[in-house]
Amino acid sequence: MTRRSFLLALLALVTLAPAVSRADVPVHVRVIKGSRKGPPHIDPRLANLKRQLSPLAYVRWEQTSEQEVSLTRGKTEFVSLPDGDHVGVTLQEQRGNTVTLEVALASRNTQSRLTVERGQRIVHQVTGEKSGAAFFLTVIAGP
């Protein structure tokens, strides 16, 4: 390899490296409310989560919002809760088929790290229980 071809190859690597490390990850986020009060019911929009929700202590499940966000490593996107609070979701790391997210609720000074495979759903409680109800996020990292 000549010095010139080596330098061109090195320049190509340096040029591509930032683009690879900054790749966006599409994430589907739903805010759901679990309640201990009332007759058992699962919002039809949450039918695909029934197996994950059934073992939890709540009997009523309602989807309150849904959104798609595109996460860039280190940049926080915010999801609004019905009570006016905001949850920050930050891409911490992506390796192969695995994505690690940080979920933070500033008002409660809580942070959680969630690692999921792309396409896998996770349900995560983000608020404490008030009057028998709590809010959860369900997150799916896309391809």
Distance CA 96, CA 93 (A): 10
pLDDT tens, position by position, 3-39: 444 334 434 444 444 444 457 999 999 999 999 999 9
Q: State the pLDDT at residue 40.
A: 93
3 lies in some domain: no
100 lies in some domain: yes
Task: Residue 89: name the closest of 133, 35, 26, 45 by CA.
Answer: 26
Helix (H, G, I), strand (E, B) or coil at 124: strand
103 lies in some domain: yes
- Type of residue numbered 82: P
44 lies in some domain: yes
Residue 123 zone, left/alpha/beta (φ > 0; ψ -120 to 50; rest): beta
Distance CA 3, CA 74 (A): 36
52 lies in some domain: yes
Structural domain boundaries enclosing 136: 25-141
2 lies in some domain: no
pTM for this entry: 0.79
